[in-house]
Amino acid sequence: MNILITGGLGYVGGRLTSYFSQKGNQVYALSRHKSLDEYYENVEVLSNVDVLEKNKLENISIQCIIHLASMNEHECIDFPLEAIDVNVKGTLNWLMWAKKNNVKQFIFFSTAHVYGSPLVGNLNEYTQAVPSHPYSITHRCAEDYVIAYFHKHNLNTKVVRLSNSFGYPAFPTANRWTLLINDICKSIVEDRSFKIKSNRLQERDFISLSNVCKAIEKLIDYSIPEGDNRIFNLSNGKSRTLFEIGLWIKKIAENYFGEEIQFSFDASKDLPIIPLKLSSQKIKKSGWNPTPHKDVDEIQQTFDFFIKKNKM
């Protein structure tokens, strides 16, 4: 299968590019980065800036587009008007291209944060979305275009609302080390200690990138029942407090390094918070289920990444 992945060298997109290329698919990875220093089998990197303008895909038949290219949450705050161009208009451009070129399937990566801030309560794909951040607002707007292209143009579109993901990068072009679990792993490698600076009673639903890749593979082959809203939460379906996450990573790290890891937090920030239950029942109908041992492997390989990075 020929798969086009926008944002294909980014944090989540890079892992999808690596995963599907290793499965024997030809992957066209669109990125701000024009090339990679190393050769990767079944991966061709294209500049995200000019690929449409210069018709670089003119003679290539694409069966599936996985669209992740967007401005991140920090960029959306700093440049809200540009965020509309990139996150909304950019999505629409690819939908138009997909329709024109008879692409079989279009999967759009949105965010679970479209449900609101803070992310709390019982949430499923039919819960009303009330985004308040420029990042989630633009993704929610893009979702409407994606769904509209199914109803108006019969394009097989699917929306994935991703919860908090974690894991090692597939390519050096990815840089998402401010994410909580990745930041904890980095601190453990460098200092054998870490601190949770936020409310440790806050709940989050974390999913490893290994499980994300498996889920998308199943979703590509999944035939959506008639009348479904074509939106899928991608989460573990089980939330944990930041304190529980800290203890979990501490245990993995102590087994990995064979020494005690110091874990601290600011108890003055502890405030009661509404629990989070982010349902993943719909995507499980595709045949996917999260595998807990993959999460442990992901943490260990993230340690490996930082150890290697520190030696460079």
Give the CATH number for residue 293. Answer: 3.90.25.10
230: left (phi over 0), alpha (psi -120 to 50) or beta: left
Residue 49 included in any domain: yes
User: 50 and 6 share a domain?
Assistant: yes
pLDDT at 102: 94
pLDDT at 33 over 90: no
User: 217 and 289 share a domain?
Assistant: no
Residue 173 included in any domain: no
pLDDT, tens digit (0-9, with 9 covering 90-100), for 143-185: 999 999 999 999 999 999 999 999 999 887 776 677 899 999 9
Range of the domain at 225: 2-166+206-234
Q: List C-alpha distances in Å: 297 to 36, 272, 294.
A: 26, 32, 5
User: 244 and 114 share a domain?
Assistant: no
User: 49 and 121 share a domain?
Assistant: yes
> Per mean pLDDT, which range of 45-49, 169-173, 208-212 is the poorest?
45-49
pLDDT at 154: 96
pLDDT, tens digit (0-9, with 9 covering 90-100), for 53-93: 556 777 789 999 999 999 988 999 999 999 999 999 999 99
Give the CATH number for residue 18. Answer: 3.40.50.720
The kind and range of the H/E element at 309 are: helix 292-311
Residue 285 included in any domain: yes
User: 252 and 155 share a domain?
Assistant: no
User: 102 and 144 share a domain?
Assistant: yes
Angle, helix 180-191 to helix 242-257, in steps of 10 degrees: 40
d(CA 167, CA 300): 9
CA 61 from centre of chain:
25
Residue 214 included in any domain: yes
Instruction: Please write down the long-range contacts of 286-289, taking CB distance under 8 Å and 24 or more positions apart.
Output: 286/215, 286/218, 286/219, 286/221, 286/222, 287/218, 287/222, 288/214, 288/215, 288/218, 288/219
Q: List C-alpha distances in Å: 273 to 120, 127, 199, 270.
A: 8, 20, 9, 9
Chain mean pLDDT for the chain: 92
Give the amino acid at 70: S
pLDDT, tens digit (0-9, with 9 covering 90-100), for 108-157: 999 999 999 999 999 999 999 999 999 999 999 999 999 999 999 999 99
pLDDT at 49: 55
d(CA 233, CA 160): 6
- Percent of the chain having pLDDT more than 70? 94
Last residue of a domain, one of 196, 216, 234: 234
pLDDT band of 202, cuts 50, 70, 90: very high
The domain tally of the chain equals 2
- Percent of the chain having pLDDT more than 90? 79
Residue 261 included in any domain: yes
List of residues 6+ apart from 3 with CB closer than 8 A? 20, 25, 26, 27, 28, 62, 63, 64, 65, 66
Residue 172 included in any domain: no
Of 103, 75, 96, the C-alpha closest to 87 is: 75
User: 63 and 79 share a domain?
Assistant: yes
Query: If you count them, how many residues does the chain have?
Result: 312
For residue 309, give both structure tokens: 């990075």
User: 100 and 186 share a domain?
Assistant: no
pLDDT at 2: 96
Tokens 């587009």, residue located: 65
Residue 171 included in any domain: no
- The 3-state DSSP class for residue 287 equals coil
DSSP structure class, residue 237:
S
User: 246 and 157 share a domain?
Assistant: no
The pTM score is 0.93
